[in-house]
Structure 1
Amino acid sequence: MKLMINAQPWLYAALCFLLHSSSNAKVLSSPAELTVREYDFIVVGGGTAGSVVASRLSEDPQVAVLLIEAGGSHEGLLNLEAPFLGVTLPNTAVDWNYTAVPQVGLNNRTFHYTRGYVLGGSSSVNLLTWNRGSNDLWDRWATLTGDDGWSWNQVEKYYLKTSRLVPSADGHDTIGQVDPSVHGYGPVQVSVPGFELPTDSITETASRELGGRFAFNVDFNSGNFVGTGYMQSTVGGGERSSAATAYLPPLVQSRTNLDILLNTRATKLVKSGSSKLGPIFQTVEIASSPTDKRILVSAKKEVIVSAGAFATPQLLLLSGIGPANDLKSVSITPIVDLPDVGQYLLDHALLPNYFSVSTNGTWDDLLRNPAVFNATLEEWIENRQGLFVDSPGNTLSYLRLPENSPAFNDTPDPASGPLSPHTEFIVVDGFAAFGPVPQPATGNYITILTAVVSTTSSGAVTLASSDPFDLPLIDPRLLTTSFDIEAMIQTMKDAQTFLQASPWQKAYRPVPFGDLATATTDELKAQYARQNTFTESHPSGTARMSPDQADWGVVDSKLRLKGAQGVRVVDASVFPAIPECHIQAPIYVIAERASDLIKSAYGLL
């Protein structure tokens, strides 16, 4: 197969619509195709968590499950499948296309917020990094929720159940790049990079040379998330492994008790009765468009809301569940007064740092030259080999701040423990145009993406109106605390320190590019950060877990909606604290444990 690209390939959104394949008969494309209106369980959201929950609950052939997804099918979309092309997915038909409100901490700039609007959700559109979080993170969650079931000793079995380590795409010897003994046996395929970049060995050598805070870490998924190592990604055989590809296709073929309804939004949860625990919500109102007739579907047992950190609080608020005064302000009658719904939004602030380099071996030319791009794409299509088998970054560092960092002057250490980092940087062998700065027309570059992962800046998701087809107002309030700005300044310094190591100077001689070159003081670095930071797209915490009897939080430690009955929430919105890492693996873990909690509650284990 030959595919010619004549426009700028990095932004070539038309790839989203290539290579469509037909849907299986079990997949329904609109509510009109539903033949029944009552199921045992209804899962709202066919993303990372929802796909897992629907898969696990439908393992019992006597249990009828409906999975509702607002977007369409993931099948046959080439740039969902090719890992490197994940960068083309923002602002396309598989993206919710959210926008953050103007950010006080970012000079009142706004930015695009990519979330998956497709089966598999953000696991189908993210940049694939696989981090399960430190042991300390899970133990902290157990403390915050008052439930030892969230401790690492208790959730390790669920982590092992999510994924398995597979060979890298090129089949190279991965000894010393990953520890197979800390990986599991689940359906999500995980691998280390399958196309070696010149920066890979340089990063490892520099790490070993510098040691200390930069010391080499063979496998972050051993539980220690501090140091420098190789990226692990949800890639198998050179293709993306998502919740949709890992958990759903076999079921669609073999199970008659699972319906997957695409192109359909849950517009609200409908009160269907009352109990000692409060109102019962076991009915979901759905529609495909603002003008369509609303249809009701009901769950005999439970509705599981897995719509994500933005759509989950929006759905709860539209249903009359949330801060009573806020609901009244948009003409929604409060049913359950839960002040924390939509609050405590946390995300990781991400900042591109650009450096010009003396070599011409970076992949900048591929982004400018359609012929090179086409040849690389054809190599992937024909053999699942080449640059496109990986996401844009192959190596990364997770670092703790120096003990004397000014970030701690006014803030206690926010990290989960000594195994959890404060900051991150990712090495990219080219100019990664993720922020407001466009790719230069000439030259070769590397990008160091720096991030604050133990963030203390907290925002909110609120309703723009009572119309379920209006996107919510999203305000992560990035870089609005002294800790976060000081941590970002430190990780910018760390990136430059790392690039001063002799392996980098010998091979690349990197020099700060653009405004970074003049950001020579802490104050100027802070200005650079405020002007160029955006998001790592790891939103969480908007329906956070709390102890069962606590008067704060949105769900209890078993993920049941507080003050009501018949609803659980299972997605990143329930995180009681943000993971100090990329968040897709913790979402899978939560979904696996939630599935067992639900099965246990109804005698299905």
Structure 2
Amino acid sequence: MHRSFLVVLSAVAANLGLASAALFTDPADILADKQYHYIVVGAGPGGSVVASRLSEDPQTNVLLIEAGPSDEGVLPIEVPYLAYELQPNTTHDWNYTTTPQTGLDGRAVIYSRGRVLGGSSSINVMAYTRSSRDDFDRYAAVGGDQGWSWDAIEPYYRKLEHLVPPVDHHNTSGQVEWQIHGTRGPLNITVANAPFPIDSHVVATTQELSEEYPYNEDMNSGYPLGIGWAQATYGNGIRATASSSYIRPVISRPNLDVLINTITTKILRSRHSDEAGVPVFSGVEVAQSSTSPTFAFNATKEVVLSAGAINTPQLLLLSGIGPRAHLASLGIETVVDLPAVGQNLADHPRVGNQFSVASAQDDLGDTIGRNSTLFDELLQEWEEKRQGVMANGGTNHIGWLRLPADDPIWETEEDPSAGPAAPHYEFLFRPAFASSIPGTPTPATGNFMTVLAVLVSPTSAGSVTLSSASPFAPPVIDPAFLSTPFDVYTMRAAIRSAARFVLSAQTWDGFVTGQGAGFADVDLNDDAAVDKWARAQASTIWHPTGTARMGGCGYVEEGSVVDPDLRVRGTEGLRVVDASVFPFIPAAHPQAAVYAFAERAADLIKSGRRFC
């Protein structure tokens, strides 16, 4: 089976998945007088968790709305190795593009976001990283609520996790600490399902260069620093999504309706509360296209926005919640003047750094990509046994590292990380040519491995704004990549560190022959040359956060959008539960943190708590 065929198969399988009677594919099919207590917009790791947990009470009616199609039966979603087939330019992607980035030589960046049941958990590369305890303790300090601290959130991780053995049944001793994980939760996670040729060399480097690159048995302990085996959201050889974990297993609940292929165009204001004239939001307007009819659904208790760090601020702005001047410029009535909506966009830029590999068999990814017969054989193995390379993700190891305490950068810059347990940059190891720019073709000849360097404690801050008052126009996305001296410096240090990792350890002798592909031309001793490479190659690793950030019990002047209960300031009946609420970007792949935030948010909603 060739990759071009997978896109066609994906669309066919998605349509077959819609045959399930439990899913609504057209808002017209929902009874006009249907009463809902909660409406949840967006079916990613935030919305799927909240909708599932709220509907555990049979007396609570919940409507979950997703703009995209079902994820059920879509082969590239189910097969972990095919993750990179899911974006960009697919039916499961919003297919956004950023503004031209000054820090990237004026390049616009393809900005993939999941538009499918499961949200971005259905199209991401599945890395499951809890973040550091310092990140959560900083969230607690910002919000003034110790319920967001590491010690308070860690039990939610155990609640949501189902750690399962790898499908190749290898001995996981020293690769994961089973005792710190949950084994009964809805979300499958595991370590590598199949070995990669580079694995033993990565581990050996942590022994040779242990002072700079220590080994970490389990980076999800709250102390991630070091190099260790990656944990990912797949189990039993199949990707685990927010949908497959939280929605499809409970879709038969009579009090849970799921509406797909439908865009929420506006949050509806019903009235002002009697106490202080606060606007009450109690419904949503939806449509399936710019030319289709609109429908309205009401919620007697709350509307929960979980559309993600791009679409949640877009929807708030379209509904008149945001900076007054921006709304007025588009002719949108200001309902709540909330300047921080859409601001503080933070993301993790990544740069792929290639090295030449001596043997073709050690360049696993490119060997598979260049040999359609081998590709088909491996896919058949997966289809028959759910085993082999196709049951694996793109990386078996992850590294989390900090700049040294005596680095000269601290003479002029403050440390932006959450604390000493939080990293400044990350390594991802791929046994293949891997460019950080989507669509870059693999060289026709040569054999490679790649160390992706990712800046995970950035100081650059961007924005999400509206391009028009139409909900069908894409928002204006500006991550402001590499726009601060610290970010440029740290990315330069991360690229050099990646080269040291591969070129300074004896274990790579005879395996790697030197820098490879375009990276071969980069003089690592020249700051300008390394910076030029970074600006030419950097792209997103798809981790936007912060555009509806959480703050304390103060009001607008503190630059936040939601309070510690994740309620939208200056409103009633409206809450946000997704990556947009993080006050600072986690120094991790954010999906795990979103799952944990959503688990706690569901408990807060159920309890009716008001912290402020």
TM-score (ref. length: structure 2): 0.95
Structure 2 residue aligned with 1:533: 538
Q: Contact 2:436–2:537 at 8 Å: present in 1 too?
A: no
Q: Please say if 1:28 is aligned against 2:31.
A: no
1:159 positional shift: 1.3
Q: Please say if 1:216 is aligned against 2:215.
A: yes
1:50 positional shift: 0.4
Q: Which runs of 4+ in 1 moved over 3 A?
A: 12-15, 18-23
Q: Contact 2:346–2:462 at 8 Å: present in 1 too?
A: yes
1:153 positional shift: 1.3
Question: 2:47 aligns to what SS in structure 1?
Answer: helix
1:38 positional shift: 2.7
Mark the CA change 1:441 to 1:512 in structure 2 (over 3 Å): closer, same or farther: closer
Question: 1:214 aligns to what SS in structure 2?
Answer: coil
Name structure 2 gaps, 5 residues minimum: none
Question: 1:198 aligns to what SS in structure 2?
Answer: coil
Deviation per residue, 1:186-240 (Å, 9 max, x gap): 1100000111011111101111210123100000011111000011000111100
Structure 2 residue aligned with 1:556: 563
Superposition pairs of residues 317-356 of structure 1, within 5 angstroms? 317-356=317-356
Deviation per residue, 1:9-44 (Å, 9 max, x gap): 8xx633422544443212100101111443000001
Q: Please say if 1:446 is aligned against 2:449.
A: yes
Mark the CA change 1:114 to 1:15 in structure 2 (over 3 Å): closer, same or farther: farther
CA distance in 1, matches of 2:165, 2:112: 29
Structure 1 residue aligned with 2:461: 458
Q: Contact 2:565–2:609 at 8 Å: present in 1 too?
A: no
Question: 2:8 aligns to what SS in structure 1?
Answer: helix
Out of 130, 133, 140, the residue aligned to residue 131 of structure 2 is 133
Identity of aligned residues (%): 45
Q: Contact 1:49–1:306 at 8 Å: present in 2 too?
A: yes
Structure 1 residue aligned with 2:11: 17
Q: Contact 2:355–2:513 at 8 Å: present in 1 too?
A: no
Deviation per residue, 1:268-292 (Å, 9 max, x gap): 0111010235100111111111111
- Count of matched residue pairs: 596
Question: 2:452 aligns to what SS in structure 1?
Answer: strand
1:370 positional shift: 1.1
Structure 2 residue aligned with 1:294: 294
Q: Contact 2:227–2:400 at 8 Å: present in 1 too?
A: yes
- Equivalent residue letter for 2:114: G
Q: Contact 1:37–1:296 at 8 Å: present in 2 too?
A: no
Q: Contact 2:522–2:533 at 8 Å: present in 1 too?
A: no
- Equivalent residue letter for 1:14: V
Q: Which piece of structure 1 moves more, 333-342 or 162-171?
A: 162-171
Question: 1:221 aligns to what SS in structure 2?
Answer: coil
CA distance in 1, matches of 2:416, 2:522: 31
Q: Please say if 1:370 is aligned against 2:372.
A: yes
Superposition pairs of residues 508-547 of structure 1, within 5 angstroms? 508-520=512-524, 521-547=526-552
Structure 1 residue aligned with 2:479: 476
Pairwise CA RMSD of aligned residues? 1.5
Name structure 1 gaps, 5 residues minimum: none
Q: Please say if 1:83 is aligned against 2:80.
A: yes
Mark the CA change 1:434 to 1:8 in structure 2 (over 3 Å): closer, same or farther: farther
TM-score (ref. length: structure 1): 0.96
Superposition pairs of residues 66-77 of structure 1, within 5 angstroms? 66-77=63-74
CA distance in 2, matches of 1:447, 1:594: 38
Superposition pairs of residues 49-448 of structure 1, within 5 angstroms? 49-90=46-87, 91-184=89-182, 185-253=184-252, 255-275=253-273, 276=275, 278-361=278-361, 362-363=363-364, 364-435=366-437, 437-448=440-451
CA distance in 1, matches of 2:532, 2:118: 37
- Equivalent residue letter for 2:344: Y
CA distance in 1, matches of 2:409, 2:589: 22
Question: 2:481 aligns to what SS in structure 1?
Answer: coil
Q: Contact 2:546–2:584 at 8 Å: present in 1 too?
A: yes
1:357 positional shift: 1.2
Out of 596, 607, 610, the residue aligned to residue 600 of structure 1 is 607
CA distance in 2, matches of 1:586, 1:395: 20
1:516 positional shift: 4.3
CA distance in 2, matches of 1:252, 1:429: 39
1:183 positional shift: 0.5
1:162 positional shift: 1.3
Deviation per residue, 1:368-420 (Å, 9 max, x gap): 12111111111111111111111111112110112233433432111111111
CA distance in 2, matches of 1:477, 1:297: 37
CA distance in 2, matches of 1:519, 1:128: 33
Question: 2:251 aligns to what SS in structure 1?
Answer: helix
Q: Contact 2:358–2:510 at 8 Å: present in 1 too?
A: no
CA distance in 1, matches of 2:522, 2:306: 45
1:473 positional shift: 0.5
1:553 positional shift: 0.3
